[in-house]
Amino acid sequence: MLKHEQKIDWAIENKPTHTYQYIHARFHPETFEEFWEEWGNKQNDAIGCILFRIGELEAHHKRTILKNEDDVRIVNKLVKYLESIEYWNEGDSGMWEEAEELHASSVGACVAGLKSIKRLPGVEVPDSLIQKGEETLNALLPRESKNKFVDLSLLSLIWPYNVVSDEQRDKILENVEYHLLREKGVIRYKGDQYYNKNQDEVSEEAEWTFGLAWLAIIYQNMGNNEKAEGLIKDLIADDTPEGLPELYYSNSPEYNQNTPLGWSESLFVIALYQLERKLQEQQ
């Protein structure tokens, strides 16, 4: 972010109108240069996620992220950036890096990020900036967007972001499980074309394995260990000699080449770790 500070400054002063003018979602891991290929680079949720994690790490003293005045300055500029782009009223490519819409999951990520860093010394977050996001979120929910009634990404509003009420949480879970839960995973949304197996490319959405782990983590946090254990058992049955795949083709034992997928593996580890801790507490 320090490397691209001038771009952030420009976006604060001039509300971006083209995708390339927004903070990119992907950077080269060594040079920190932006990847310029079109890949859903307009992702407001990425900024919200960064702010959320900085706030969480700082608050729990697990490590120090904001080491000097430069770091604090950048965080404050990211707050102003979200205000400039009007994140509460701004469509983006969302978690799946696809069509631009106003996504509840993206708005919620920004709300969570702003709340998380608001408690840090030297960081200024206007209450109105959070309130605008909450109003939009409440208006959108339980939908993900205008065109998506339910979406796997909505689980992020429950965990890790925790920006929904118990009633909203229960409705999201009900919708995800009724409409999206499958035998080997959770489809992202109805009509998903990514690795769609059926020849008509409409009715057979791929089943993402990490959806099971995500649900398990949420149910563990809710105290429903029995439901969580059942989901983890299903996830173990999904495992392969290479590791957990990104997804299985619908109604099929075949999985795609993105195996193992870090996202799937990491959520699986968290689900297992939390389950072990809870079982130890009960002994």
Domain ranges of the chain: 1-156, 180-283
For the stretch 195-216, pLDDT in tens is 998 777 777 899 999 999 999 9
Residue-wise burial string across 18-30, b where 16 or more C-beta atoms lie within 10 A, e elsewhere: eeeebbbbeeeee
What per-residue confidence (pLDDT) applies to 67? Answer: 85
pLDDT band at residue 41 under the 50/70/90 scheme: confident
**Coil vs helix vs strand at 101:** strand
What is the rounded average pLDDT of the residues 34-44?
82
| pLDDT score for 65 | 78
| Cα separation values, 88 from 52, 102, 128, 147, 176, Å | 16, 8, 11, 17, 24
Per-residue burial over 268-278, b if 16 or more Cβ lie within 10 Å, else e, is: bebbeebbeee
pLDDT at residue 51 in the model: 97
Check pLDDT > 70 for residue 87. Answer: yes
pTM for the whole structure: 0.94
